[in-house]
């Protein structure tokens, strides 16, 4: 029998992450700090505890990571990348502080990463790695800034469509294998663009619900181990496509609760492993999608508290 949800311990665990400056783990995660703040803040907000981290300090930290080209790094002095730029804008959005940054500059950074021939988006100005993750990130960042029209959305949608596979799933680039993480980003991007008509809904949802294994957990591809973060990548896509009831909710809930550290807080990828803030967010967000009592509703497209995105859904249609 899985333990109950240890809300207070999860809150303390997330609060403790910023106080571990003398521990190796803190410095090893330095390159992910902006993502970490988004994961921690969103998890707290879904537990109704957004104020457990200091708001003004957080906003000042986010601003200190912005470059003159408009993009954000993971930490002050780190190179700008679209991954951290989304997390920065998500943090400001949750904190109702978007006006603290120059959104024209941020949007121009994001749009400069799009390949205007194929519609694909790269991760930063120096690299040439294109990935459906970055298309979703560009869509979400611009939607939060109300500047989606500045990107060639139709071309980006055609790139996503070119990444669709015979099994109904999506990969990171045309011809790449279907993977639940990539399916989440493609489905959510198509939702933002109001182009879910391009999804082969029954075929894809069949592939997604097949991800549930006998332990109740979900894996990201056939034959792989179940992992709590797929409670987000798989479940959110099923939620967007209206097929949440195609998985066994009770068994998945038990799998997530079992992966908690019920003494010190936090959630791991699976029972017995070390906890981290990434799996803590996706475990909590998965429980929220399952309608778990006491959690705030999460938006399956934006992975943000539904409270802060409710008006975006009226502006999504172009």
**Residue 73 within binding range of ligand GRG, rule CB under 6 A:** no
Among 45, 131, 269, 299, binds Zn ion (CB under 5 A): 269
Backbone angles phi, psi at 276, to 5 degrees: -155, 165
Contact region for ligand GRG (CB under 6 A) — 1-9, 155-163, 180-188, 288-296? 180-188
**Residue 283 within binding range of ligand GRG, rule CB under 6 A:** no
Tokens standing for 108?
A: 């121009």
Minimum distance from residue 211 beta carbon to ligand GRG (Å): 10
**Residue 220 within binding range of ligand GRG, rule CB under 6 A:** yes
Residue 248's CB is within 10 A of a number of other CB atoms, namely 13
**Residue 224 within binding range of ligand GRG, rule CB under 6 A:** yes
CA distances from 53 to 50, 74, 189 (A): 7, 18, 30
Per the CB < 8 A criterion, the answer to whether 308 and 93 are in contact is yes
Among 107, 160, 229, 240, binds Zn ion (CB under 5 A): 229
Helix (H, G, I), strand (E, B) or coil at 143: helix
Contact region for Zn ion (CB under 5 A) — 25-33, 86-94, 221-229, 287-295? 221-229
Helix (H, G, I), strand (E, B) or coil at 172: coil
Tokens standing for 316?
A: 């999504």
Minimum distance from residue 269 beta carbon to ligand GRG (Å): 8
CB of 6 or CB of 138, closer to ligand GRG: 138
Ramachandran region, residue 221 (left: φ > 0; alpha: ψ -120 to 50; beta: rest): beta
Contact region for Zn ion (CB under 5 A) — 11-19, 104-112, 222-230, 250-258? 222-230
Among 227, 258, 276, 299, binds Zn ion (CB under 5 A): 227
Looking at residues 229 to 268 of the shown chain, list those that interact with ligand GRG (rule: CB under 6 A). Answer: 229, 233
Minimum distance from residue 14 beta carbon to Zn ion (Å): 17
Contact region for ligand GRG (CB under 6 A) — 46-54, 62-70, 149-157, 219-227? 219-227
Among 182, 212, 260, 309, binds ligand GRG (CB under 6 A): 182
Which residue, 220, 194, 195, 198, is CA-closest to 207? 220
CB of 60 or CB of 225, closer to Zn ion: 225
**Residue 261 within binding range of Zn ion, rule CB under 5 A:** no
Residue sitting closest to ligand GRG (CB):
181
- 269 binding partner (options ligand GRG, Zn ion, none; Cβ < 5 to 8 Å by kind): Zn ion
Helix runs in the chain, H state only: 7-16, 24-28, 33-46, 55-64, 82-94, 103-112, 132-144, 153-162, 180-192, 201-209, 230-240, 249-258, 277-289, 306-309, 312-315
Per the CB < 8 A criterion, the answer to whether 41 and 52 are in contact is no
Measured at the alpha carbon of residue 209, what is the angle toward residues 177 and 256, in degrees to the nearest 5?
105
Minimum distance from residue 4 beta carbon to Zn ion (Å): 23
- 221 binding partner (options Zn ion, ligand GRG, none; Cβ < 5 to 8 Å by kind): ligand GRG
CA distances from 33 to 26, 28, 73, 188, 205 (A): 9, 10, 9, 24, 34
CB of 62 or CB of 229, closer to ligand GRG: 229
CA atoms of 316 and 211, how far apart (whole Å) = 30
The residues of the shown chain that bind ligand GRG, judged by CB under 6 A, are 83, 133, 136-137, 181-182, 184-185, 220-221, 224, 227, 229, 233, 303
The residues of the shown chain that bind Zn ion, judged by CB under 5 A, are 227, 229, 269
């Amino acid at each position: 029998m899985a333990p109950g949800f240890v809300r207070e311990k999860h809150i303390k665990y997330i609060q403790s992450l910023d106080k571990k400056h003398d521990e190796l783990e803190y410095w090893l995660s330095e390159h992910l700090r902006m993502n970490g703040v988004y994961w921690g803040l969103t998890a707290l907000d879904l537990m109704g505890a957004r104020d457990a981290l200091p708001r003004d300090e957080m906003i000042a930290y986010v601003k200190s990571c912005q470059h003159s080209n408009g993009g954000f790094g993971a930490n002050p002095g780190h190179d700008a990348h679209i991954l951290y730029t989304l997390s920065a804008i998500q943090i400001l959005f949750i904190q109702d502080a978007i006006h603290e940054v120059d959104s024209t500059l941020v949007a121009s950074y994001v749009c400069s990463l799009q390949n205007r021939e194929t519609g694909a988006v790269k991760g930063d100005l120096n690299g040439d790695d294109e990935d459906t993750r970055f298309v979703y990130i560009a869509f979400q960042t611009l939607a939060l800034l109300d500047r989606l029209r500045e990107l060639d959305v139709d071309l980006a949608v055609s790139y996503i469509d070119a990444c669709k596979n015979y099994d109904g799933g999506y990969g990171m680039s045309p011809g790449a294998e279907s993977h639940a993480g990539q399916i989440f980003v493609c489905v959510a991007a198509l939702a933002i663009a109001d182009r879910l008509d391009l999804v082969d809904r029954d075929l894809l949802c069949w592939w997604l619900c097949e991800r549930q294994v006998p332990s109740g957990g979900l894996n990201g591809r056939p034959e792989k181990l179940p992992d709590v973060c797929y409670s987000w990548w798989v479940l959110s896509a099923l939620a967007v496509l209206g097929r949440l009831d195609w998985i066994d909710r009770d068994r998945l809930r038990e799998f997530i609760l079992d992966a908690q550290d019920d003494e010190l807080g936090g959630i791991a990828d699976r029972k017995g492993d070390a906890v981290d803030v990434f799996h803590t967010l996706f475990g909590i967000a998965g429980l929220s999608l399952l309608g778990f009592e006491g959690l705030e509703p999460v938006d399956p497209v934006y992975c943000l508290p539904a409270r802060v995105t409710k008006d975006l859904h009226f502006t999504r249609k172009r």
